[in-house]
Amino acid sequence: MRDVDASDSAAGLSRERDLLAATTQAAGELAFRMFRTSLKTWTKGMSSPVSEADIAVNALIEQRLRAVTPDYGWLSEESADDAARLARRRVWIVDPIDGTRSYLAGRDDWCVSLALVEDARPLLAAVFAPARDEFYLAARGGGATLNGRPIQAAPGTAIDYARVAGPKPLVERLGRLPWGTALHPRIGSLALRLCRIGDGALDVAFAGGNSHDWDIAAADLIVHEAGGNMTALSGDPVGYNHRDAKHDALVAAGNERHRAIIARLGTK
């Protein structure tokens, strides 16, 4: 396994950090072995695709994490929700394959996304996109890395619309797009879209009002530890492990740019 260490300033978290990194790596490797193979698929809810790969990766993650931390809560897109998590101070929040549509279409913009949340905020996070050989890791107060190298959100307040990703109606709330400008190509995984703020590849990333804890918790910490911010459009912080795991529209950017965006949205 490549070096995926991030500095760990939170006392007593070295076990969980190492467990998270190793589990995310193993989960990504399993997902990649099943990638572009013939898979059983079905639909849950109204239109959300699921495959046997999602279930297999979820099972691997749950077995590894819960074997070592049986007292922690558990919330995963591919597990039945257990209200017992609401009484736990620490909770694993998991998306075994974020961007399942991309995964099933054979594209590379999908990932495994895992976070450890404590008191409603992420404490540790890992996002692994094996088809792109990208491994993000973050610890609260310890910075964020991509493949072992520190990352930093893009500074400044200017917005290059070619470096903005998200639903067009949300982007248009920033102002009229310059003539002929194309937004950044769509990224199938919301977690990866947000991580692009952390590594400086995007200026702004929006999430529509249909994301859940498992889509965003890991990327949230990666953005913050890289010198960015992610909030509701009102500027309110995002909390996790509440009874309702769904979130309204969100915006992420480097700290300075994020403040300017929230001020601009407040005048609309």
Per-residue pLDDT of 105-140, as tens digits, reads: 999 999 999 999 999 999 999 999 999 999 999 999
For 188-204, the DSSP string reads S-HHHHHHHHHTTS-SE
Q: Are 22 and 137 part of one and the same domain? A: yes
Domain boundary among 150, 181, 214: 150
Task: Give residue 179's pLDDT.
Answer: 62
Number of domains in the chain: 2
Residue 155 lies in a domain: no
Q: Are 33 and 134 part of one and the same domain? A: yes
pLDDT tens column, 21-65 = 999 999 999 999 999 999 999 998 777 899 999 999 999 999 999
Task: Give residue 252's pLDDT.
Answer: 98
Token pair 């969100």 is found at: 250
Residue 207 lies in a domain: yes
Q: Are 82 and 108 part of one and the same domain? A: yes
pTM value is 0.93
Task: Give residue 9's pLDDT.
Answer: 41
CATH number of the domain within which 90 lies: 3.30.540.10
* Domain span including residue 256: 161-265
Q: Which among 126, 118, 104 is positioned nearest to 28, based on CA atoms?
A: 126
Kindly indicate the confidence band of residue 6, based on its pLDDT and cuts at 50, 70 and 90. Answer: very low
Q: Are 95 and 185 part of one and the same domain? A: no
Q: Are 67 and 28 part of one and the same domain? A: yes
Task: Give residue 176's pLDDT.
Answer: 77
Q: Are 44 and 135 part of one and the same domain? A: yes
Q: Are 110 and 165 part of one and the same domain? A: no
Residue 260 exposure: Cα atoms within 13 Å on the Cβ side: 14
Q: Using CB atoms within 10 Å of the CB of residue 101, give its burial: 0 to 12 exposed, 13 to 18 middle, 19+ buried.
A: middle
Q: Are 84 and 186 part of one and the same domain? A: no
Domain boundary among 112, 129, 150: 150
Q: Are 18 and 145 part of one and the same domain? A: yes
Kindly indicate the confidence band of residue 7, based on its pLDDT and cuts at 50, 70 and 90. Answer: very low
34 in Cβ contact with 53 (< 8 Å): yes
CA distance 123 to 109: 25
Mean pLDDT for the chain overall: 93
Kindly indicate the confidence band of residue 175, based on its pLDDT and cuts at 50, 70 and 90. Answer: confident
Residue 81 lies in a domain: yes
